[in-house]
Amino acid sequence: MTAATGLSDSPLRSLLGYRLRRAWIGIRADLAETLRPLDLRMLTYTALVLIEANPGLSQARLAGLMTVERPNVVAIVDELARRGLVCRRRDPGDRRAYALDLTPRGRALSRAATEAVERHEARLFGALSAAERRAIDAALERLSERL
């Protein structure tokens, strides 16, 4: 019962999926706000960080890391490359694939964005106790096994 309105979402409140959705909507909106001043979205930020951590990464492997289908990576890398943040080289060992790397500008933006994202995480999740945090991590780990 949402006390103020007298409305009931009780049949859904027992569903973890329903509550995760509500949380995710809020988190996503706050993350979008956090990244907007840097002209990044959730997915372009994620790609930036993953390419930095995996020099020479291919788009197919990037898609795997991002949990996104391969076709959706194309526009993301297009945008990052157009802005001079990522450079696409042909992989010498496999001429079908690209070897993706960050440019110096890409590394600088990655650093600035990561600082902003860490502030965002602290703002949202800072109130969680260490025990709560561990419990969530464990639960998400368990969940991943079933998906």
Partner DNA sequence: TATTGTTATACTCTATAACTATA
Partner DNA sequence: TATAGTTATAGAGTATAACAATA
Residues, the chain, total? 147
- Interface segment toward a copy of itself; rule CB under 8 A; list 48-56, 73-81, 85-93, 95-103: 48-56
- Interface segment toward a copy of itself; rule CB under 8 A; list 72-80, 86-94, 97-105, 113-121: 113-121
User: 141: helix, coil or strand?
Assistant: helix
Q: Which of 23, 74, 75, 108 binds a copy of itself (CB under 8 A)?
A: 23
Which residue lies nearer to a copy of itself by CB, 81 or 124? 124
DSSP string, 106-143: HHHHHHHHHHHHHHHHHHHHTTS-HHHHHHHHHHHHHH
Pick one of a copy of itself, DNA, none as the site partner of residue 58 (Cβ within 5 to 8 A by kind). DNA
What is the smallest separation between the CB atom of 97 and a copy of itself, expressed in angstroms?
14
For residue 21, state whether it binds DNA (rule: CB under 7 A). Answer: yes
Q: Which two tokens stand for residue 120?
A: 């965002």
Dist CA 30 CA 83 (whole Å): 24
Beta-carbon contacts of residue 101 (< 8 Å; ≥ 6 apart): 51, 55, 56, 86, 87, 89
Q: Which residues bind DNA (CB under 7 A)?
A: 21, 25, 29, 32, 41-44, 58-61, 67-74, 77-78, 88, 94-98
